């Protein structure tokens, strides 16, 4: 299936737009996001090097009509949903066209007087909006290392994995209204906790605010009620991926979650990165996933490589570190490539009962953890507080403190092949409201 | 708080539109829904007796502008969301105005040549659409009788209620994309089950398809991220209520739900009634809820009566019963008035962590059960299959069979006071797709 996209993943292709070495956004990437400058209304843009190209302006000049009928309306939209709804043929056509327009030697954009001046500007000037309106948000639990760690932490002495884990891509629905774009401050949630089971529960600021390093995928056209999306069709329905920080209040979650699962311990905020990296751009980085034993039921079988070799990183910088000039501390660097359940399996499972998927639905992977110390959450990194993290300024962390900034980063490639980066998703913790 | 609405709940008020005895929709009710006739586009309508009044037509005649600035745009919309977003002052103004327009003796509608002919027509001619677009869907677990029954069924010998139950209005997020309007056929979901723990799991049609009789509330303007809705402000944010059938596949749910809660066992379909009954209409039926012991934490305390005396009913008619002329069988008739957690508490809890509520969010009560035999689900009514239900034609039911039609009904009042009815939410089970 990947052969159709070779033209746009050609590692030798260069852009006439300057792309610094090590940039997340060479011409082989071209992630889409929702951008605005000054008092402009939000519209679709593409990241290229340290710049953004305003696709509303390009579309208004008529340069995208052949690739995307109705391009003006779709790309002047303040969300990607209308574009996502158009499906894979449109996605690939737009990608091929942008690749042509941005390729070294192409003069079409520069041939329209004043166009590049209006359409191409430094990425630092772009205010990034939530890239798509999320209909339903599902969070999976697809890292077997993470699930095993949490089983060990919460049910010591017992079998760490539930009996269903190797049969079902376990997941639950999260709250779509509180999905926010990178940079949105994260207000420490208040909530009900019961630190001492012999005492009544308390209400107040969470004392166990945690990170969850995840990768999410966003869907395209979707299905009709009652009509499952087969794993073999998943590629037609998945546009691309973002980084996700599924902030978690472990103390709220621990007290509330039985018997119906996580609720307020997760629903206060979920941050996503502003640039959506397409499956097409990630095509060269498809890898086989881990062997699944026992073999999944037929509806969960996939053919072809459905894991992705994406390197992830979690960084933490406290307010004091920032003031004293300490660079952010890297806490963990797991890879996404070993996830037990892949995206095609997740989508097939989530719709096996006929549930509807719509353009802009978000399916997150669950916390990405590998072997120690490459864990994607503080509860694993500190082993439930028994091994605090020591920051460069000598202070310690078990969970997040007010003023802490967390950045998640991710990329595929580099080292001689084009780097397909996600940019970052960041958030700073601000104190709870009284 | 109720005094402001007395004019529209005055039991003596009559309409010039014929309202048959026992109708769910006297002038004191005036529920809103989304209606369309023939090839019309969906628009807002109000039910009155056996008729509907097309509010788009009324608004276009300019008769609602004083009550609702922008009435034309809001009421020609195919969902109630824009109206819901306007908030309580607008809701009450529209209600007062409609009450005036429909009151016996009022000639304003009939004074516009041709208007009533276009705007008022038999309810049987109205195709009902989903009344609002659901942003996030939360399902609570607020009947202590239901929670106790499920605890007894699934954890025999143990304390039936979890330690958190009397402290927290337990809930979880459901899937908003598969919320459907009454009358939508319910395709039996396929899914993964493990009937024999010694054997591998199976995939196929659920063999344990169940009803959940619930009442849901729909929200208005909503809050900003990080700003909780206090229980004392809940009335400003709750427009009204619908009946909800949260169809459940018990076998899928039982195998999937640990540790993150229900997912595919619930996400295949949730049916709601097409008419939204306002809190204003239900004002005369507010009653005190059960005593809560221990007293909830301060953020969950409410003042005034926040339970509602709504009589509910579950009816079942199999395909064979319909063919042989058997009327639907009433399975259960619980009241909503004894729910342990009320709507103000649910809304305050769901936003205590700063989570955002938007216009059109749906919060369902969870299964409404009272003392035996007034249970709101088959798993309780048949006590997990040990006491099958015998249908009038002699066949038995443990869970739903293909061809079964389930109707949920609800009303407050009657017996000398105006009957504020919900109409019904119905669904017929159709066979699973292969």
The complex's ipTM? 0.96
Q: How confident is the model at residue B4 (pLDDT cuts 50, 70, 90)?
A: very low
CB-side exposure of A294: number of CA atoms within 13 Å? 11
Which residues are registered as beta bridge partners of A409?
A313, A424
CB contact under 8 A, A203 and B299: yes
Could you tell me which CATH number the domain at A32-129 has?
A: 2.30.30.230
| CA atoms of A67 and A70, how far apart (whole Å) | 9
pLDDT of residue A9: 75
pLDDT of residue A10: 86
Task: Give the residue from B167, B353, B356 with the most A CB atoms within 10 Å of its CB, the best one to mutate.
Answer: B353
Q: What residues have CB less than 8 Å from A89, skipping those under 6 apart?
A: none
Closest-CA residue of B relative to A180 is: B225
Which two three-digit tokens encode residue B80?
A: 């109630």
CB contact under 8 A, A178 and B358: no
Per-residue pLDDT, averaged over B254-274, amounts to 97
SS3 A295: coil
| Residue A66: pLDDT over 70 | yes
Question: Of all helices (H) and strands (E), which one includes residue A312?
Answer: strand A311-317
| Residue B8: pLDDT over 80 | no
CB contacts, 8 Å: B192 with chain A: 167-168, 297, 352
- Other CB atoms within a 10 A radius of the CB of residue B297 amount to 17
- Contact between residue B242 and residue B273 where contact means Cβ atoms under 8 Å apart: yes
Which two three-digit tokens encode residue A259?
A: 């018997």
Which two three-digit tokens encode residue A175?
A: 């709250």
Helix intervals (H) in A185-277: 234-237, 250-256
CB contact under 8 A, B170 and A260: yes
At B230-241, the pLDDT tens digits run 999 999 999 999
Closest-CA residue of A relative to B299 is: A203
Q: How confident is the model at residue A7 (pLDDT cuts 50, 70, 90)?
A: low
Structurally, at CATH architecture level, domain B137-430 sits in Alpha-Beta Complex (3.90)
Q: Is A332 left (phi over 0), alpha (psi -120 to 50) or beta?
A: beta
- Averaged pLDDT of chain A: 96
| CA atoms of B183 and B180, how far apart (whole Å) | 8
CB contact under 8 A, A136 and B175: yes
Q: Shortest CA distance to A353 belongs to which of B162, B174, B361, B220? A: B174
Closest-CA residue of B relative to A299 is: B203
CB contact under 8 A, B135 and A163: no
SS3 B176: helix
Per-residue pLDDT, averaged over A300-322, amounts to 97
SS3 A181: strand
Question: Of all helices (H) and strands (E), which one includes residue A308?
Answer: strand A307-308
- Would the pTM count as exceeding 0.80? yes
Q: How confident is the model at residue A11 (pLDDT cuts 50, 70, 90)?
A: confident
DSSP B274: S
Locate the DSSP E strands across B79-236. 120-122, 127-129, 137-140, 171-174, 179-181, 186-187, 190-193, 202-205, 209-210, 213-219
Q: Active site includes B146? A: yes
Per-residue pLDDT, averaged over B333-346, amounts to 98
Length of chain B: 434
DSSP B262: -
Closest-CA residue of A relative to B350 is: A264
Q: Does B192 contact chain A (CB < 8 Å)?
A: yes
At B77-87, the pLDDT tens digits run 999 999 999 99
DSSP string, A98-135: HHHHHBTT--HHHHSTTHHHHHEEEGGGPEEE-SS--S
Q: What residues have CB less than 8 Å from B353, skipping those under 6 apart?
A: A189, A190, A191, A249, A252, A264, A267, A268, B228
CB contact under 8 A, A135 and B177: yes
pLDDT of residue B388: 98
Structural domain spans, chain A:
32-129, 137-430
At A108-139, the pLDDT tens digits run 999 999 999 999 999 999 999 999 999 999 99
Per-residue pLDDT, averaged over A364-381, amounts to 98
DSSP B10: -
Percentage with pLDDT > 70 across chain B: 98
- Contact between residue A424 and residue A407 where contact means Cβ atoms under 8 Å apart: yes
CB contacts, 8 Å: A172 with chain B: 172-173, 260-263
| CA atoms of A158 and A163, how far apart (whole Å) | 12
| Residue B154: pLDDT over 90 | no
SS3 A274: coil
Q: How confident is the model at residue A5 (pLDDT cuts 50, 70, 90)?
A: very low
End-to-end Cα, chain A, rounded Å: 54
At B296-311, the pLDDT tens digits run 999 999 999 999 999 9
| Residue B407: pLDDT over 70 | yes
SS3 A283: helix
| Residue A385: pLDDT over 50 | yes
pLDDT of residue B7: 58
Q: Does A352 contact chain B (CB < 8 Å)?
A: yes
């Amino acid at each position: 299936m990947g052969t159709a996209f070779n033209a746009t993943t050609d590692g030798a292709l260069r852009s006439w737009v300057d792309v610094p070495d090590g940039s997340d956004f060479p011409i082989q990437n071209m992630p889409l996001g929702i951008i605005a400058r000054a008092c402009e209304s939000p519209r679709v843009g593409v990241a290229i090097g340290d710049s953004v190209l305003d696709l509303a302006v390009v579309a208004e000049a008529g340069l995208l009509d052949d690739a995307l009928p109705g391009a003006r309306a779709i790309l002047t939209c303040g969300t990607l949903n209308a574009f996502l709804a158009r499906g894979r043929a449109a996605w690939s056509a737009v990608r091929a066209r942008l690749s042509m327009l941005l390729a070294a030697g192409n003069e079409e954009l520069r041939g329209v007087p004043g166009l590049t001046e209006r359409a191409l500007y430094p990425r630092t000037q772009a205010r990034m909006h939530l890239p798509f309106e999320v209909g339903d948000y599902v969070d999976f639990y697809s890292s077997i290392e993470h699930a095993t760690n949490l089983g060990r932490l919460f049910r010591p002495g017992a079998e760490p994995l539930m009996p269903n884990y190797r049969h079902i891509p376990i997941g639950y629905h999260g709250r779509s209204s509180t999905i926010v774009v990178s940079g949105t401050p994260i207000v420490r949630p208040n909530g009900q906790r019961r630190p001492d089971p012999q005492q009544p529960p308390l209400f107040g600021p969470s004392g166990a605010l945690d990170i969850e390093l995840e990768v999410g995928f966003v869907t395209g056209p979707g299905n009709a009620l009652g009509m499952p999306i087969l794993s073999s069709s998943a590629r037609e329905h998945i546009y691309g991926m973002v980084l996700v920080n599924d902030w978690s209040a472990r103390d709220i979650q621990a007290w509330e979650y039985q018997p119906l699962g996580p609720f307020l311990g997760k629903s206060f905020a979920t941050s996503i990165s502003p640039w959506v990296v397409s499956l097409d751009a990630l095509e060269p980085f498809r890898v086989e996933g881990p062997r699944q034993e026992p073999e999944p039921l037929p509806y969960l079988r996939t053919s072809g490589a459905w894991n992705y070799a994406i390197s992830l990183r979690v960084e933490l910088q406290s307010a004091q570190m920032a003031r004293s000039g300490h660079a952010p501390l890297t806490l963990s660097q797991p890879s996404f490539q070993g996830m037990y359940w892949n995206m095609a399996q997740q989508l097939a499972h989530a719709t096996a009962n006929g549930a509807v998927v719509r353009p802009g639905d978000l399916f997150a992977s669950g916390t990405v953890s590998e072997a120690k110390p490459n864990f994607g959450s503080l509860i694993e990194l500190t082993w439930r507080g028994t091994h605090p993290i020591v920051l460069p300024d000598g202070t310690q962390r078990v969970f997040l403190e007010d003023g802490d900034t967390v950045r998640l980063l991710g990329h595929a490639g580099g080292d001689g092949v084009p780097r397909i980066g996600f940019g970052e998703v960041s958030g700073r913790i601000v104190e709870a409201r009284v």
